[in-house]
A and B are shown apart, each in its own frame.
Chain A
Amino acid sequence: MRNYLNIIIAYSIMMLLIILVGIFQSWSIALTIFNYCMISAVMTLGANIQWGYAGLINFGIMGYTALGGLAVVLVSVAPVPEAWSVGGVNMMTCLGIIILMIFSTRYILKNIQKSNKRNYLIAGIIIVGLILIKIIAGPAIEQIEAVDPAKTGFLGGLGLPVLFSWIVGGLFAAGLAFIVGKVALGLRADYLAIATLLIAEIVVSIIKHEDWLARGVKNVIGLKRPAPYEIDLQTSPWFINLVEKFHSAKLDLANSLSERQDILNQLVIDASSVYVKLCFAGMFLVVVIILLIITQKALYSPWGRMMRAIRDNEEAASAMGKNVVKQHLFIFILGSAIVGIAGAMMVTNDGLFTPGSYRPMRYTFVIWVMVIVGGTGNNFGAILGGFVVWFLWVEAAPIALFFINLFTAHLPETNEIKIHLINSAPYFRFLLVGIGLLLIMRFRPQGIIPEKIIKQ
């Protein structure tokens, strides 16, 4: 019990903070923060598997998040039949060509000795393939994008239930991680960081600019939801009754029937958004708990011990007959898949896919701060890091505003410095997160909840 005391205390403080936001700001905001905290926690779990278990530094989290988001669009959006009829065949041919290219390259790599001839052959295949794709796909893309560009202009998805896309998001991310891992895992740590960051940028720029795939920067809005819609709730009698029962004391204070109706309407509108967020919170909580159980079991299994051995001393682990390269690739794929799931969850929660919003600051560096602050190599720490840093990230502006007002209270309202500071309150979040990271790295490098190694 003593071992878990600090974890329980840390989590209680975090919950208390979110409840305080609920009391002082609003419950809707508190739940939004809570949901995003959980999404961040899933991303952090993924990054923590790579960094904490295996010491692999992956700055490409943004790319996997974006792929997870793309999966939601490709799985849940209804297909666009006109687009498929004008360009479907060509796009499928291109997909076939890409698969053919991959297999022929593999064949050459396996069957021809390493030589210049092999390099030229592979280069030839890639160049011919790219030219073919450009010729076949070019007109098809133009036609697809011309299909009702204001609303569709893309191939659409499969029209399947949106929850299914969370798994697909994980699979997409795993696929990308396989390729990235094959290419970049041999590099030393800081090269790996830069390479993964740049590959993630390539992925995002492809998603951004290939409009036929997911409308690019034109965004996909109105995605399906696994939770009820607010507007449906507001008109369903059972929900209104529930709200009435819940707030009966407040409603009884109303003087007239019309006033009572007004108050009830307002309450129903508020309650519907809270209800929807609660539904999401429930689903996310299930995901977080499942992942936590799995990762916790894995960490204390023989496999987890092997990963730690590889992390702490690669040569020794290799000498003991562990396949370091294979295990690195495996854990890289695993961690990225979890990040992909988080990306899909996030897009589902927002109900829209905005490729333009994927920026390294928000989706790579902030997540990394979460991992470091929470505690590397400890899953409870990772989740806590997700909560703490996201909470700071969101609440930094109100906190900064409070302090600015406190310290400049003696200045008149028209003071230029005061106005300037108040206007720049949103940017204090960078300062807060940055200083937080620096302080943690300096004074508690193992994070808030340090790694715990159980000795058998």
Chain B
Amino acid sequence: MDLINAVIVLLNYTIIPALTYGSQLALGAIFVTLIYGILRFANFATGDMMSFGTMFAVLLTYYFQSIGINFGFLPTALLTIPFAIFMMILYMLLIDQTVFKYYRIKKSPPVQLAMVSVGVMFVTQAIIRIIIGPTDRRFLDGEKFIIKATEFKEMTGLAEGLTIKSTQMITIVVTIIVVAIMFWFLNKTKTGTSMRAYSDNEDLALLSGIDPKKVVLITWIIAGILATIGGILYGLDKSYRPFVYFNNMLPIFAAAIVGGIGNPYGAFFGGYVIAFAEIFLTYAYKRFLVYLLPESLEPNSLMQLLSTDYKFAISFSILVIVLIFRPSGIFEGKRI
């Protein structure tokens, strides 16, 4: 019985939150990695692009609520996803045409494109703040919980309760669906294969008749879908605040590089590595150990390896370690 209780504690406070957070990071990391693999630059506007898509979801959710449309027990925001994605892709294509295209055709070094993306980051942040403002917004409606702690205790008779928030379940399910479709697209369809070819060797791909314009277009469309869905899922789970999205860029980068930048499988995996490391290293294990150890050995302290203040620092340290020992990431980088 104690063992089950201990497992439930672990599930409740570490595994489920880590899976949720990891899924959100994974979507962002695949976005970073796609841009890096195909357009060949580190996109510093990542966080703000995710924020841009989410902004439309927030605004549309408010609009839908005002005219009385809802999605039953699911959050209304899910209904707004297609519209938000559409706006996001429009914005990305606009930015690509006006800003990135020039440097791509000129074949500028990646650093220059990265600096340009810093400019895009500033502009995107300005637009977001001017439209929606920098305040914290919650836009979750519908059922909040799938299982509440008290219900779970009654149901099973255990001492520990298990809480599963609906946003956690939605995040995990949506991520699996989106990522599965994306990998199917990249591996099985002709367009996906041409994207992989373009990423592997641009000259060879052009020689074999792949249209670079189409590849770039499709890349931005997939990037738009990933960025918007990742952003909305994060916003539903926590809350929407532009500044936080900008900060999330850093663990997302960490996830992409840890997995091997340019490699979507690596990025997907990297998201979970970062999330699990952050949560497992900052969790206070006292309650978990109380169940497992005999009473005489019960710990006095919180049994916390690092304070939660260092959550971000952990993911960055992992990144630094990976960069030193395996610069191409856990999976070999630069392969889509």
Contact = CB atoms under 8 A, between A and B. Distances in A.
A441 B319 contact: no
Interface in B92-126: 99, 102, 109-112, 114-116, 118-126
Nearest to B110: A190
Given A197-B250, A427-B130, A187 B122 contact: no
Contact of B129 (A183, A199, A427): A427
A199 B110 contact: no
Contacts of A194: 42, 253, 257, 319
Contacts of B253: 194, 198
B121 A191 contact: no
Nearest to A441: B116
Given A197-B250, A441-B116, A435 B312 contact: no
B313 interface: yes
Contacts of B250: 197-198, 201
B309 A424 contact: no
Interface string A429-450: 1111111011001100100000
Contact of B119 (A191, A197, A441): A441
A427 B243 CA distance: 13
Interface string B19-57: 000000000000000000000011010000000000000
A184 B41 CA distance: 19
A365 interface: yes
A431 B130 contact: yes
A157 B323 CA distance: 35
Contact of B307 (A201, A209, A369, A427): A209
Contacts of A365: 44, 118, 121-122
Nearest to B314: A202
B42 A434 contact: no
A314 to B, nearest CB: 13
B1 interface: no
A106 to B, nearest CB: 16
Contact of B310 (A205, A361, A431): A205
A206 interface: yes
Interface of B: 41-42, 44, 99, 102, 109-112, 114-116, 118-127, 129-130, 133-134, 246, 250, 253-254, 257, 261, 307, 309-310, 312-313, 316-317, 319-320, 323-324, 327
A383 interface: no
A66 interface: no
A369, A424, A445: most-surrounded residue (chain B CB, <10 A)? A424
A208 interface: yes
Interface in A157-216: 183-184, 186-187, 189-191, 193-195, 197-199, 201-202, 205-206, 208-209
Given A209-B307, A434-B121, A183 B320 contact: yes
Contacts of B309: 205, 208-209
- SS of B interface (majority): helix
A57 B115 CA distance: 10
A445 B116 CA distance: 11
Nearest to B114: A190
Given A201-B316, A365-B118, A437-B118, A189 B111 contact: yes
13 contacts: A183-B323, A189-B110, A194-B42, A198-B250, A198-B254, A201-B313, A202-B313, A205-B310, A369-B119, A427-B130, A431-B127, A433-B122, A438-B119
Nearest to A55: B111
B321 to A, nearest CB: 10
B41 to A, nearest CB: 7
Nearest to A134: B305
A372 B117 CA distance: 13
Contact of A431 (B122, B317, B319, B327): B122
Contacts of A368: 115, 118
B111 A190 contact: yes
B120 A191 contact: no
Given A202-B316, A205-B313, A437-B118, A57 B123 contact: no
A25 B9 CA distance: 60
Contacts of B307: 209
- CB-based closest 6 A-B pairs: A434-B122, A431-B126, A430-B126, A427-B129, A434-B123, A198-B316
Contacts of B257: 191, 194
A191 B123 contact: no
Interface in A235-275: none
A213 to B, nearest CB: 13
A191 B327 contact: yes
Interface string A364-393: 010011001000000000000000000000
